[in-house]
A and B are shown apart, each in its own frame.
Chain A
Amino acid sequence: MSLDDDMREALDMFVTEARDLVQGLEEGLLELEDQPAGGETVNAVFRAAHTLKGSSGLFGLRHLVEFTHVVETVLGSVREGQLDVTPGLVSALLPCTDHISAMIEGIAEGRLEPDASQLADGTRLLAGLSPYLDGGAAPAASVATPGAEAAPAEAAWRLGLRFGPDCLRNGMDPLSFLRYLSTIGTVTGVVTDASGLPDAEEMDPESCYLSFDVDLVTAAPKAEIEAVFDFVREDSDIRITPSESQLDAYVRAIRAMPENDRIGDVLVTSGAVTEMEMAEALRVQQERAVREGTQPVPIGEILIEQGIVQRDIVDAALTRQRRTTETRSQDTRTIRIDAARLDKLIDLVGELVIAQSSTGVTPGVSAETSNEAQGEVMRLVDEVRHSALSLRMVPIGTTLRRFERVVRDVSMELGKEVSLTITGGDAEMDKALVERISDPLLHLVRNSLDHGIEPAAERRKHGKTQQGTLRLNAYHDAGNIVIEVADDGCGLDRDRILGKAIERELVAPGTALTDAEVYNLIFEPGFSTAEKVSNLSGRGVGMDVVKRNVTALRGSIEVETTRGIGTTIRIRLPLTLAIIDGFLVGVGPSSFIVPLDRVTECVELPPGPLGRDCMNLRGEVLPFIRLRQLFGIPGEPARRQNVVIVEQSGQRTGLVVDSLLGELQTVIKPLGVLFSRVRCISGSTILGNGEIALILDVGTLIAGHSDREHTRQAVAVG
């Protein structure tokens, strides 16, 4: 279906509104679970569903109308008092909100019809609601029944079975596996390969030399086929790939799937790859990355290399993933703005126009009046900028409240009792940042629930309250927004982290590390101490990704933990990505900008022996970095050099520069792709005189410096 522009625009608005409604619906349901008697909440939830149904009707989105209608009917009987709110009801309704949300996202991507898997989901969810529909007044019957939920379709597989030489001795007869396969499906072809048989004299009659390629058509999922070979997996090479004839079907199935961030999820859901194969491939990926110290090889490449799936399938999955990223980035095209803020901006621009017209037009005004008018214009320009920026600012509370659902679901799954406290929800930050930080936060929340907070029994044993507490807190601090994820769980185990790091060869045995350094190891790629890999975390993918995401947003992350008391993870982010207050410094012919909120003071560099990179600052030793040296700027240092003292996470460092050029409001221009690997520089800006100044990334600058110092000391000691 093609959409003209008007329709597209209207639909965009619908999507924005619908997202809010769904979130309202979800929050209301969670609130009802806590306080089932909340009459006002019931009304609000009912209205949300009703409005959603109504506006989807306007756009002729039949699937959405039909589904929401059922939800609305159930909520209607709750409102009428015919139905009590039970945990069961909430648990049946919450997945429905997810489903509605998925349909809305589908519409946002231009799919006005549901796909097969969505239809199947819908039918399943409505079936779950049917006990709550009074008298079975079957509105569900009006919902189109999809064909997809019939018996699972048969699929063709190609099994490559290379049994280990010892399997006969171990009592495993390959022939019995072949026989068993014909009980779970139809064996349409077998190629027995006897080319592995050695010469007569060398042959060991008790070793297995045969291998088989089997074509199997079965309705059983891949994991079930895989399970057949559980006993011989150790020393055999068993490969189960979708047969060539099936490729198109997989590619089609993957194309019809909802979009997903993770290619692994797409592949596992499609059935082409099992959880076990994915876990193994992830392990290989990490091992290799750690061993070779390079960027991880894409997981798809590893799966192909291991002969688990064909390239066509991985490519199809990749397009699902790529499209997700594209839709995400388009998401921010429409944004809701508080009308009062817009009015204020318009008001300011009006004032600016008046102030502008009063400067220098009338001849004969005194220089003093003219200056005053100029000053007024400057002030207004500044306010306009602030006000324009604030249009992009949204309170972070909306994002944080979404975690109520996560906490509820995850703690139910894990059988733990956890309450969530949210504070500082009205702290504001850039909308783009909010969107990009919500995934890392989600990971941290899950991690805390999974590994931080102990099961109720264990908590009682340690004399803690049975119910664990997860705290999400946000506040502004020196031009940054700080978001804390805190739990009152078991805390990090220093010894175990260190032990694991040594085992993984991340640190050399016997290295003396501070507590903070040890705790920071959890952000290393491929690091996970969880002894038990659960559904949620412990796969060793995650904390490093969280850190990478936070760093990409010019933020930093730190851990604070006490054994037995709890862990707090603190993310520090800039308020906006667009503008910073900068401090301009010069080194030779080059200019650099230091983010002003990092600068604590400036002093003159005291004369001292060259090569010693530290100075005495009021009785304290202050290490410093010579920017001229660091960036290899040619020429002699100025006769009098200055030190800009910057602070990052409580650590102070000096930056030695030639000249201090003053404060400057800096519009950040991101560096091009070409420079994406440059460290210590976070962006560039254009100065008033047309020259370019590079913006220093103080975090990596200091971190990099202490790394270099460490190596130097290590060399000196060793």
Chain B
Amino acid sequence: MNAIGRHRGLARIWAGEPGLRGVFSAVSHTDIGKRFIIASAIFFAIAGVLAMLIRAQLATSHSAFVGPEAYAQIFTMHGSIMMFLFAIPMLEGVAIYLLPKLLGSRDLAFPRLTALGWWCYLFGGSIMVGSLLVGLAPNAGWFLYPPLSGPEYTPGVNSDVWLLGVTFVEISAMCAAIEIVVTILKFRAKGMRLDRMPIYAWYILATAGMMIFGFPPLILGSILLEIERAFGWPFFDPELGGSPLLWQHLFWLFGHPEVYIIFLPAAGAISTIIPVMARTKLIGYGAIVASVMALAFLSFGLWVHHMFTTGIPHMALGFFSAASVLVAIPTSIQIFAWLGTLWAGRPKLELPMLYLLGFFFVFILGGLTGVMLAIVPFNQQAHDTAFVTAHLHYVLAGGFVFPMLAAAYYWMPHVTGRLRVMRIGEAAFWLIFIGFNITFFGMHLTGLLGMPRRVYTYPAEAGWDWLNLVSSIGGFLQAFGFALFALDIALQAWLGRPARRNPWGAGTLEWTMMTPPPAYNFASLPEVECREPLGARGTLAADLARGEGLLAAPRNGWRETLAVDIASGKPDHVAILPGPSLLPVAAAASFGGFFAMMLLSLYWIAPLFLVAVTVVIWLWASTNGSREPVGPLEIGDGTTVPSHYEAQGTVGYWGSVFALCASGTLFGSLIFGFAYLWTVAPHWPPQTGLDAPLFETGLIVAGALAAAIFVRLALPRTGNGEGRLYLAIAGMGLTLLVLASLPVLRLPAPTDHAFGAVSTTLVAYGLFHAMVATLILAFMMVRKRQGFVAHGRPQEMRVATLWVDYAAGTAIVVALVLVLAAWGV
């Protein structure tokens, strides 16, 4: 088969559907990645307009431009959109677009999950932004502290929009995080050991791992606050045993890692671009990997530095202050590695490099003020002033926006296959850079002079007028810069001259393909022996197009890509990926219906949409698998590997592992909340006690163990195991029923005291997983009968076993926590 024939065959297999249906059924990572990037850029523009409104209001004292209510909505939505609808989705979009191309794969591990994430993001973001148009946008600040955001002080739907909208968008983030981790671990080129991965993949692996463990506390907090607002369960009400500080802990358990979740992918782009711009190799690859991992861990030990003024004992402040200072070290290692790389190479001042120089200046200043704020006495002086606003903008704009602008210029020739038209980008840079520093450097000073954050006006006697006016002028200068940037990108996309392949002379795999890239990425999959395979073998692009790589011949109309051993990069199996599907948009619409009903307080209709979600997911899972043995598949280098239907440790298994890690983090956060309220909140122990549910605990343990044992015995090693599956279902069903009985028969009312609220929530969590496990077991029964689960094709049962084990374990833990709580009361 020649290169043209191969291109046509692969293009036919990997093509999306035509017309409007194709818009909704697209699953290609290239398409979805671009959608994420474009949508998040639009949200950035909306948040930017809100920022201009803020600066217009604050330009002078006693301004009558907007009133306090509108101003509260504007600053809350500015922060919320920038964090949840711009920064995270932008980093996801870039990763979704780039990763398979950098790793030598044809797509991500779960193409339909990528599409589900996209639709959840679009629907959730639209709900949030739509609320602005009707004047019901969130208005309690982007971190929504209760009691301000609670039912007493925000009785309308404003806070509900935030809680439900952000949770909806977080579904998207969790989908992306699981997708990304599994893709990096399993979908790499042959020979791409972990230490040969492109450095960007390390950054994104750490980021996605942080998302898996960092987002669940926020999701939990949002669920609890929404339940408090909707049903009056007093998690955060100190009169009834709750504590508003619990929200702060849960929020910042997410919120501080979030800063690094935003920074690390941008740093990954920097580490990729700088060596290319400096025409050399990256210095200190191993040290950078170590510092990225250190940041990923240490960033979870800093959250209390956002709470230094809440009255926490000095020793605890000391723990978090020390950790906050230490985190500067791994950040500095990266900065020195970048400077060293520039020093060792022959840097050329192309446009991406100009934006990276802007990054160095702005981000280092933001880092220095971060170290200042890590020191408790200074923090207490500067807390809630414009100084903090200035610091966070220096860190986030410096650490994310400037690198992303550099990345946009660097990878635009890849996305569009075109070159820039005029030198508008340079003008845009200077406007953004100068405007940014005028805006936010001044805000350091207004903060030090005592101006609080989030005030809609200030008295002329305060003496803050001229600084605010200068900041506002700088803000509008920036806005012109961003408008020029958008114009430059649009002109490049529509009018640019065709770019030659690999215009920067980079060594990574994404430049081996045609630009703009075909739907299948690689005509044949590369085999790599170093970190810069294109740099090491100049003919690699042509060789792959000729079919000299792996999986070169289209086969059976399958969307094939290679899965490898996690550590060594040796071929493990051939993954056959699903094609276009309407199931993701159907699932997202069902989730959307649930959130919309909750927002409209139609609580009795909302569960119907969860049933719809369940039906869609059942149909989704039904389209997987093979009834017939596929056998070993030739991959093109003379070796054969099994298909994913018949392999061990497939992406489905790893996806479940990480999904359960996220759920386990949420569960752990809930238990932390229970312990926190017990030890810190007022009005504990509660007046209404709890008799230890020993009998129920016995039944739960028996049912859970039976389910875990019989699902193992039903693995398709011997016989068809249907009877054992029935017993597993019976065991899990018993656990489910007993858990369901606890709130009715045993637990105190959830509205009377936080004890009842948290213990009922714990039971609801166990119940949810027991229901999921029971459904999975029922699904396995159907699959066994249909012939999808058989000897040699055990993967689905292995995944089911994971979920059953988890449900069994959590049910037992829930029961034991309740027994301990009963004894404690």
- Chain B binds chain A: no
